[in-house]
């Protein structure tokens, strides 16, 4: 069995990209499970956040623009969600802020670009520098 990287969830507009990424990476799918039924991204962001916090894990959220998922996830203490449009965004999100949730746009991110972003997100480690640790602590106050 492949090592589980984390969790993934989307709304109806992010479903196709989520389905593509599930075929490329070992992720636990929390829904939605089709692109026909209209759903609220907030519900799936909350579901993923619950698992990420409980399991001390990571996750990927996808909606049309990425904005709704990003805002919904970041309302939770302990979550550092980052909307990433490219590989550099993913690298900096992990290295500087120890992001634990990657957010992607289902409408504006191509499949092959998303794969590269996910690979960079999961291969980049947090720097661990004191100044970044201090800033992260302030985020959860």
The CA-atom distances, in angstroms, between 81 and each of 33, 40, 72, 98 are 22, 18, 9, 9
3-state secondary structure of 108: coil
> Is 96 an annotated catalytic residue?
yes
Phi, psi dihedral angles at 103 (to 5 degrees): -115, 135
- State how beta strands 59-63 and 6-10 pair: parallel
> To 10 degrees, what angle do helices 111-123 and 87-97 make?
20
Residues 20, 76, 85, 96: which is the catalytic one?
96
End-to-end CA distance of the chain: 39
Query: Residue 31 in contact with residue 44, Cβ under 8 Å?
Result: yes
% helix, strand, coil for the chain, step of 5: 45, 15, 40
Query: Which residues have a catalytic role annotated?
Result: 96
């Amino acid at each position: 069995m492949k090592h589980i990287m984390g969790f993934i969830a989307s709304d109806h507009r992010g479903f196709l990209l989520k389905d593509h990424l599930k075929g490329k990476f070992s992720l636990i799918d929390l829904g939605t499970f089709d692109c026909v039924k209209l759903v609220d991204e907030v519900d799936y962001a909350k579901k993923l956040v619950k698992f990420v916090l409980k399991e001390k894990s990571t996750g990927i959220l996808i909606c049309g623009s990425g904005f709704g998922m990003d805002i919904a996830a970041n309302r939770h203490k302990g979550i550092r969600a980052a909307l990433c449009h490219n590989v550099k965004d993913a690298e900096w999100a992990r290295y500087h802020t120890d992001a634990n949730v990657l957010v992607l746009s289902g409408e504006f991110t191509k499949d092959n670009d998303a794969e590269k972003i996910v690979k960079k997100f999961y291969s980049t480690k947090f720097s661990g520098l004191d100044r970044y640790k201090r800033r992260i602590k302030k985020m959860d106050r």
